[in-house]
Structure 1
């Protein structure tokens, strides 16, 4: 038995399918990569399943084929390939070349013809053949030994349909070669093959199933039914014949093809490794077992052990102008890597006379003398250093984030690739899951490379990053906002927030009681017990047992998403119960139970605050997410009661009032909007009065609520559809609200339009503090993507400026508290809100600091107003 197996891939088809099946992806250079990523995902899936020993990929060429000569309009209805996909075709070929995968293409032929020819030859030579294509035309090639594999990409996952000859017959009621006959009658809209007018798939299938071919059908045309099909075939038989020729895949192309060259060797070469790193395909890196390509700089990595050598190293470093550092922790300080020249890159381990204290002291002395001290995650280093001179500290990761806030990683290997043109392995690549201590024992060379790269990249990339910050006008933002913010965030994380464990448990117990009550009420309303958390079972109860309207059937059952249930709330008493049940179970699992896991031995939660996550510049919170504490429902707000101050302290909470609308007033320079804020009036009531042409004192609560939705909606670039959904009104009515708003505040409309136009020209938007937010979506060929880009262009200058203002306030509040040597401390930032744990003797000072620093954080055309409250818990202070 011959076990030879070959996989033949229709390159353009799979690339096209991957492009439309996956969301837009780009690498750090801005190159679109979703099609290449999807292609490789399918390739690896097929190879893992097939265990083939031969592989070839065929591509179309731009030149006309013999089919175009036969029929000038062949494929004439196809849209031009989007630019985002076009740029990926040569990249895909480069990647395949780097993997030693043969690529075949020939002028005058389509990839289908090349695959047909190779498949036939391979079958004749005894190969099992797998053809991978998204084009069902290739089903005509299926035999007992030629399998056609058609991938489908759904929600980022790939499924594959397989067809041998018998499978084609079962699925289409015709044999593989009769697929050609079907196309001759029904045509093919995607290829603009005309077929016979009036004959669709069902009629064509019936005719071919009965007569076998178009020739035989035409020979018995008098018997064909219905009459319309008979007449059409009689009148257009010449079109059927031409369509048959167009649809027939050639299996005898004149091509030079050597099966030996198609033999699969090592796909994961050094060159392929470089290509995958360049494209940011981290998901595939685990497939590489090659020795990671070495860089010249590794020759200068050293581990310094002797005390005298360490002394010499630090003495030399004291003379340097710039340096890069990486503290290496293993529960405690394990050592430090330092780079202060292209050939001076060392790791010093804490051992013997070289104690942790000695290393920290020496590094502190260097920090006090160099002009620039670079880190990739400065916040993690602040536990060891006291920045006597803030101006020397430089966080390369934050600088890279400012330059491109759309990335999801700013690790040393990302910075090396983007700013030093160095393709270097990640910590995971080099050390796997080993701890630093274990790695130093088991993989000393990899360990040394890893930690030295961290310091070297911080050192070498800093100068380039600094220049780019100057070029983009963001150096001041970096120096005066982002770098001081590192210290403020570190102080906040170190302080943490105190939690009353007993009260948290009582809160959880109370929620559990309500959950059990709701379960009983829901079962009674449903008439039976079921799993409320199962969307499938819940859907059956609501739409089959209770016969509620607005059912949306999906492949997995009925949709029970929140928007569906909210529409049903008035239809049956069970629906509000389910909505409440979901809210309360989320409160219990996420907060009542979840928060307890984060309480440290000191009774406080020391969460993480991240500077480099959001594209708008906002700080995000994790482990746990303290910024997501619910405030819309009273039961959710009650969770704030468990956050309490230390004895002799109180909570002081200060919140910006409508900061984004005030920023909008400033940016738009709209006279009416500025006057409304300057007069310190109710902006939502004024908007309602002006938009709905109602005297101010006659504005109803509903009108004010609707105006509020429009006010805030405008900030987020809301559409008439979005507003109609939010207010439960018609799209037309919502559109009229928006139009009336823009008539009332014409400056706002002008600002938003100009923001979009400027972003289209430059590719980015800018806040009043110089923060840039790239908007690549505006150049997309996809309408949905472009629309999203327009909303981003409208709202990013507003949201970004609001984020900048709260950061400036946060930095200044923290500095003032420390300068005055107060016992009070800043413990939390939640979007537009700052929370201070203030000593009872310092409350007045804290309130004065919050008021002056928050209101003075920016000089806008309208005043920045602050709501401030004090209490014995976060709940009381809010």
Structure 2
């Protein structure tokens, strides 16, 4: 499709060492294998069998090494790992790396296979006892420089920055970062030659190497800029004033040892490991061992990689010949980071991509589509706006390695004659609209809209690779390029390669048919290939398959909601905008009076000067650059005691409301329908919740009167009403179900006011004696604990001291022990598995759950408690959305679903169906699942969205 919107990763860095020189590529294998381990899901040699050997790190390592080989052209290459056992640094300082957690057993078991497959991929593997991988890298980089060879180091380790010079650079492909001389200074504030001095002052908490107490990055940079080097600083330590000087002088005896620990060696003995030194001929980059790789991939269950070898493997030397037009061996002259163009090779070797110009070709492919068990479909379009996009071309694939593109509206000067679009689509329409003809796509909701713009309602979409990925690996990117790279080891043609980028990007109709055909065919082909890798994994797990089928059905319902759209009362919004503008002018005048002078209410700098310099208000927190913060949290804190911050907050809220909604919503109406059509992104939130954009309907602030008024502009046509249905206290009901707490379940089963019941338990009074203040406290406690609120957070929220808050939480857990047990067991399970699950089996991965970083680990633990509830709520609203839409269709109702916002479904209802909606929609929603705490859905009806609440 024409760069269809999807969630994808940014492109990697494109460093440019000096052309015309040989290049040594060094991979920090130890850094890579940890990244691979944490980046990949819990893959097993036997999918779904937790006792089977883990393979995620192996698979991730293969992907990373293949991508690096594609991105960086090199003459020599080695992948360097840490060797087991002690190094010279352990003798120098026994506490070195004492804080590091032991390597996870699943990762340790994958190290030897990783070494094996890296060798089979054509890399020299090095692990030298007694030193670290960094030292081997430093020695080889130094050796390469001496022999006039450029060095590129691939690693995320900042310590390697000390090796950078005009001939050595470090690239971090995972974070799109290049560290050359300028890059190091820009990132750290000091040139590479001072990086060891900088690190020695700051220390390294990861490796347990102390620095100078209280000297952080900024202070270290300041000291080195003032004194020129660590040696000069030590010589003049007596001159350094204040606490920094005192701490520096106390550390003088330690600093030489700290620097020795942090300095990368450049003189390791490598003769036993690399033959022929000082020549680097032993690490000339080699070709992969295809036969041995095939056996390896089969042994570890990498079916997609086996297929890649069988169908898509291209010898590296052939790639080199194709790119240069002549035989190319190791040596100077080629562009080091040129993007490979494999079009001629791929088609000549084993891909069959057809471009359809004649009706005979079309009829042949239509017959193939009619007889195919499953066909991948992809559209190329004129726009990313699915409601406006028109088809420029269509591609299909029914068999791996085979695809066809039908150009339909390429309109550049010498474009070849193409089949008429309307006639082609008319002939395709019976197949596209036949639900018995199974179809597959990547982000099929977009393609459904595109076909609908041409009067075709596609039926039979049974698979979507974006959603397959979303269910299996929610924490990963789901764009097709990422999926092909990750699961097939295939890299594709980038959209910007064929269409340009930025202001120079041309519309797809101007892309040459030849380039467009290869691009689109490749998309369909890769979509089919990715599906054949992911679908068996979903089939092997009944719970994940249920979630996937729910996502497919939700995609259908969301397509209908997006297509329906909602009517906006533009005149009402214009009136609200004018009123908001008047109120903002009034607030600005009041703020100027309180500040004692005019200032820009949109300028954090000017606000800071007024609040903290002129008025002397207390500084709540500072920004990373050291200036007092004026963010919303700070203003809210200050507004408790001072009037000006309250005015600023109100002005900010109204400005955002006006700029985002009242000024713009009516302008977003579609020219053909006159309605606003939001876009729902399914594959974004890890909890399964939807995100709404263009416009974002989920962020309308409903806690303020002005925000609620915006919803009054969402109206129904004459003779219709707006209905809004949502679940009552859904997350608390889910907590009761998950925890099986007897008291909490009883409150819901008996239809009690759960906040009043909680207040009665916590405050030890009869339900009828609970005061409104006690109920408010209980409500904050109920919802706060769901979101992992601490006693400190509860105290702040309720305006009480920490001791009282801690006491409330303790009493809550005494009354609801099942909740406490659930929370404790969930944390333990999450640490063991790396993920939690919803009631229905959706997996919610928590990459930081075992992090050595306390705040990150604590955040992941809170997420482990809350995610199953948020995720289950997301599952329930999707089940309801699908169920209600199915009933509307089955009964041929004229009621339309027009929005899904959080836990709410919004409908446009004909007057004669209002009674049916009032009775049936809540019943349908309450009946989609049977939880231990009964579901309750409520509905309101009104002439606009606000009055339906």
TM-score range with shorter-chain normalisation?
0.7 to 0.9
Residue pair 2:697, 2:901 contacting (<8 A) in 1 also: yes
**Rounded Cα–Cα distance in structure 1 between residues aligned with 2:617 and 2:675:** 47
| 1:412 to 2:480 alignment | yes
Residue pair 1:3, 1:128 contacting (<8 A) in 2 also: no
Counterpart residue number, 1:348: 406
Residue by residue, what CA displacement relative to the aligned partner does 1:514-547 show, whole Å, maximum 9, x if unpaired?
1111111111111112222222221222122111
2:552 to 471, 483, 493: 483
Counterpart residue number, 2:303: none
Secondary structure of 1:859's counterpart equals coil
Residue pair 1:8, 1:115 contacting (<8 A) in 2 also: no
Cα distance, 1:261 vs structure 2:
7.6
Counterpart residue number, 1:359: 425
| 1:160 to 2:184 alignment | yes
1:687 to 741, 744, 758: 758
Counterpart residue number, 1:323: 375
Cα distance, 1:125 vs structure 2:
9.3
Counterpart residue number, 1:221: none
Cα distance, 1:423 vs structure 2:
3.8
| 1:869 to 2:937 alignment | no
Secondary structure of 1:765's counterpart equals strand
> Once superposed, what is the RMSD of the aligned Cα atoms?
5.8
**Rounded Cα–Cα distance in structure 1 between residues aligned with 2:157 and 2:540:** 46
Matches within 5 A, 1:689-768: 689-768=760-839
Counterpart residue number, 2:96: 75
**Rounded Cα–Cα distance in structure 1 between residues aligned with 2:876 and 2:846:** 22
**Rounded Cα–Cα distance in structure 1 between residues aligned with 2:280 and 2:171:** 27
| 1:568 to 2:610 alignment | no
Matches within 5 A, 1:187-266: 258=278
**Rounded Cα–Cα distance in structure 1 between residues aligned with 2:131 and 2:702:** 64
Residue pair 1:595, 1:624 contacting (<8 A) in 2 also: yes
Counterpart residue number, 1:375: 441
**Rounded Cα–Cα distance in structure 2 between residues aligned with 1:368 and 1:316:** 15
Cα distance, 1:618 vs structure 2:
1.4
1:355–1:807 CA distance, 2 compared to 1 (3 A): same
Counterpart residue number, 1:338: 396
Matches within 5 A, 1:515-554: 515-554=584-623
Counterpart residue number, 2:866: 795
2:720 to 649, 659, 680: 649
Q: Which moved more, 1:584-593 or 1:448-457?
A: 448-457
| 1:471 to 2:540 alignment | yes
Secondary structure of 1:558's counterpart equals coil
Residue pair 1:14, 1:134 contacting (<8 A) in 2 also: no
Residue pair 2:141, 2:168 contacting (<8 A) in 1 also: no
Residue pair 2:748, 2:754 contacting (<8 A) in 1 also: yes
Residue pair 2:379, 2:447 contacting (<8 A) in 1 also: yes
**Rounded Cα–Cα distance in structure 1 between residues aligned with 2:486 and 2:134:** 39
Residue by residue, what CA displacement relative to the aligned partner does 1:719-773 show, whole Å, maximum 9, x if unpaired?
3333333333344433332222222122222233333333344443332323222
Secondary structure of 2:939's counterpart equals strand
Residue by residue, what CA displacement relative to the aligned partner does 1:147-201 show, whole Å, maximum 9, x if unpaired?
9999999x998863499xx9999x99xxx9xx89x99x999999899999xxxx9
1:396–1:134 CA distance, 2 compared to 1 (3 A): closer
**Rounded Cα–Cα distance in structure 1 between residues aligned with 2:487 and 2:405:** 23
User: What is the number of equivalent residue pairs in this alignment?
Assistant: 822
Cα distance, 1:395 vs structure 2:
2.3
Residue pair 1:493, 1:608 contacting (<8 A) in 2 also: yes
Residue pair 1:390, 1:484 contacting (<8 A) in 2 also: no
| 1:677 to 2:748 alignment | yes
Q: Which runs of 5+ in 2 are unaligned?
A: 1-17, 44-55, 67-71, 213-219, 239-245, 272-276, 287-313, 320-334, 383-388, 409-416
Cα distance, 1:325 vs structure 2:
1.7
Residue pair 1:150, 1:161 contacting (<8 A) in 2 also: no
Counterpart residue number, 2:877: 806
Secondary structure of 2:687's counterpart equals coil
1:402–1:82 CA distance, 2 compared to 1 (3 A): same
1:526–1:398 CA distance, 2 compared to 1 (3 A): same
Residue pair 1:536, 1:556 contacting (<8 A) in 2 also: no
1:560–1:156 CA distance, 2 compared to 1 (3 A): farther
**Rounded Cα–Cα distance in structure 2 between residues aligned with 1:119 and 1:286:** 17
Residue pair 2:748, 2:933 contacting (<8 A) in 1 also: yes
Larger radius of gyration: 1
**Rounded Cα–Cα distance in structure 2 between residues aligned with 1:273 and 1:571:** 73
Secondary structure of 2:642's counterpart equals coil
**Rounded Cα–Cα distance in structure 2 between residues aligned with 1:634 and 1:112:** 60
**Rounded Cα–Cα distance in structure 2 between residues aligned with 1:273 and 1:578:** 65
**Rounded Cα–Cα distance in structure 2 between residues aligned with 1:120 and 1:323:** 54
Q: Which moved more, 1:488-497 or 1:316-325?
A: 316-325
Cα distance, 1:443 vs structure 2:
4.0
Secondary structure of 2:577's counterpart equals helix
Secondary structure of 1:694's counterpart equals coil
Q: Which moved more, 1:620-629 or 1:818-827?
A: 818-827
Residue by residue, what CA displacement relative to the aligned partner does 1:198-243 show, whole Å, maximum 9, x if unpaired?
xxx99x99998799799xx9xxxxxxxx9xx99x99xx9xx99999
TM-score, normalised to structure 1, is 0.76
Secondary structure of 1:842's counterpart equals helix
| 1:591 to 2:661 alignment | yes
**Rounded Cα–Cα distance in structure 1 between residues aligned with 2:901 and 2:368:** 45
Counterpart residue number, 1:282: none
Cα distance, 1:451 vs structure 2:
1.5
Residue pair 1:666, 1:861 contacting (<8 A) in 2 also: yes
Matches within 5 A, 1:298-309: 299-309=351-361
Residue pair 2:467, 2:548 contacting (<8 A) in 1 also: no
Cα distance, 1:302 vs structure 2:
0.8
Q: Which runs of 5+ in 1 are unaligned?
A: 41-46, 218-225, 275-284
Secondary structure of 1:340's counterpart equals strand
1:405–1:260 CA distance, 2 compared to 1 (3 A): closer
Counterpart residue number, 2:468: 399
**Rounded Cα–Cα distance in structure 2 between residues aligned with 1:454 and 1:645:** 41
Matches within 5 A, 1:279-318: 288-292=338-342, 295=346, 299-318=351-370
Q: Which has the higher contact order (CA 8 A, sep 6+)?
A: 2
Secondary structure of 1:582's counterpart equals helix
1:496–1:104 CA distance, 2 compared to 1 (3 A): same
1:815–1:129 CA distance, 2 compared to 1 (3 A): closer
Residue pair 1:10, 1:111 contacting (<8 A) in 2 also: no
Residue pair 1:68, 1:74 contacting (<8 A) in 2 also: yes
Residue pair 2:29, 2:80 contacting (<8 A) in 1 also: no
TM-score, normalised to structure 2, is 0.71
**Rounded Cα–Cα distance in structure 2 between residues aligned with 1:469 and 1:133:** 33
1:248–1:580 CA distance, 2 compared to 1 (3 A): closer
1:300–1:820 CA distance, 2 compared to 1 (3 A): same
